Structure 1
């Protein structure tokens, strides 16, 4: 069993002002996306200023969609009991799947504004996302969130508040798979022009497959537990449509042109 790192979730404390590592991970994700996006902006006729505007749209989509998705999928009872709870983002609770819907809506609005084909834009955005996903999972780990199930493997860790039991560091598994591996795959595939929709489909398929696999060792959300058959989690249910749509989108892309600027 490995010791759990003793890292204070608060990165910076200035009197009453506290900056948490989890919040800083969002900054890391958006800065990385901006830098990577600027490197390839000219491919689809965008400028550095356009990338800043795009990330602003997406930031709103991530926060609003992520919080609303968490409330609907994981905290509906709490929301109904306390309607103002949904704005208390400092209490934690964000859903990737809700954030994805928010980003897709933001991308659709931005694509219309710039007269870009929707999947041209999502193919451009998809490789920019994984670094933020990986950073967010590291933030979860520092925050003592998303513990894995009990394990006797040598790299199990005693998460705080779980009676000293060795558990899978499932958030680190996700940081590796959804962050490092998915980024490397998408950045490599998108290095040359591809048929429209391919990169977007690969993102959905890759994230969905990685998340589904990790759900087998990740502790279910305590307010939900297993929702079917004693092993199915909400994460699995929400991820299966991503995998299916990713496969369909990749098949659809085979009939599309190699992407170029669409004005």
Structure 2
């Protein structure tokens, strides 16, 4: 049985200024994504040049932060927002929802695509392989914060999280998500998009793989205390929100290849 290291959530403290690890992981995700995006702009079929990649990063960052936070409030913890509206702005305390962030990024890409005269899916296919970098970094931030732990388990790598309401060994589900949503998803999408694919195919594969990975991990992840299980003593909000992603992704892949044929 392992024990969570209980990292100090504050990475750097200078007087009243405090920089949290959670924020740093997002910063690393954005910077690495920007660097990889610049590499992708050198492809002959890239819809962006290197200068536009920097502009797009700004729009995506806004979409992630605003969409992720509002998504968490709407999907997972609206009651806390009503009780403490200022909690909405305390992002460093955690509380970001991927599905909300995804919607925010989609709006940001749609807006920027119109600005530069490109289609939404041209940008979506370009950005999709970069997203797992941010997802993986965010899951490391969750692990450092000791939040979003898994369900009780007796596996040898079970971990005790002091922040949990008990001292039971639990699945380190944040690390599972880092491995699947971060590492595995990145490898699959980077390889698939290394050559020209029909428009929508890369976006579709992203939706399918992320949805499948998220549904799998939710079986060992502790559901949010304020929500619990939605049905059948196993269905979670994360699974419910991921199912439409899989269906939409499959539809995009089929449509992309049929139209290309």
TM-score of the superposed pair, with normalisation by structure 2: 0.95
Counterparts of 1:1-263 in structure 2, within 5 Å, are 1-42=1-42, 43-162=45-164, 163-257=166-260
Q: Whole-Å Cα distance in 2 between the matches of residues 83 and 11 of structure 1? A: 26
Q: After alignment, is 2-11 or 131-140 more displaced?
A: 2-11
Contact 2:23 2:92 (C-alpha < 8 Å) held by counterparts: no
Q: Deviations over 1:139-160 (max 9, x none)?
A: 0000011100000000000011
Q: Whole-Å Cα distance in 1 between the matches of residues 156 and 223 of structure 2? A: 22
Contact 2:22 2:94 (C-alpha < 8 Å) held by counterparts: no
Contact 2:140 2:174 (C-alpha < 8 Å) held by counterparts: yes
Alignment CA distance shift 1:197-1:45 (3 Å): closer
Following superposition, which runs of at least 4 residues in structure 1 exceed 4 angstroms of deviation? none
Q: After alignment, is 248-257 or 238-247 more displaced?
A: 248-257
TM-score of the superposed pair, with normalisation by structure 1: 0.94
Contact 1:195 1:253 (C-alpha < 8 Å) held by counterparts: yes
Task: Determine helix, strand or coil for the equivalent of 1:242.
Answer: helix
Q: Whole-Å Cα distance in 1 between the matches of residues 161 and 86 of structure 2? A: 30
Task: Determine helix, strand or coil for the equivalent of 1:220.
Answer: coil
Q: Deviations over 1:203-236 (max 9, x none)?
A: 0001000000000000000111111111111111
RMSD of the TM alignment (CA)? 1.4
Q: Whole-Å Cα distance in 2 between the matches of residues 172 and 91 of structure 1? A: 19
Contact 1:149 1:167 (C-alpha < 8 Å) held by counterparts: yes
**Structure 1 unaligned residues grouped into runs of 5+:** 259-263
Q: Whole-Å Cα distance in 1 between the matches of residues 242 and 232 of structure 2? A: 17
1:45 Cα offset (Å):
4.2
Contact 1:170 1:218 (C-alpha < 8 Å) held by counterparts: yes
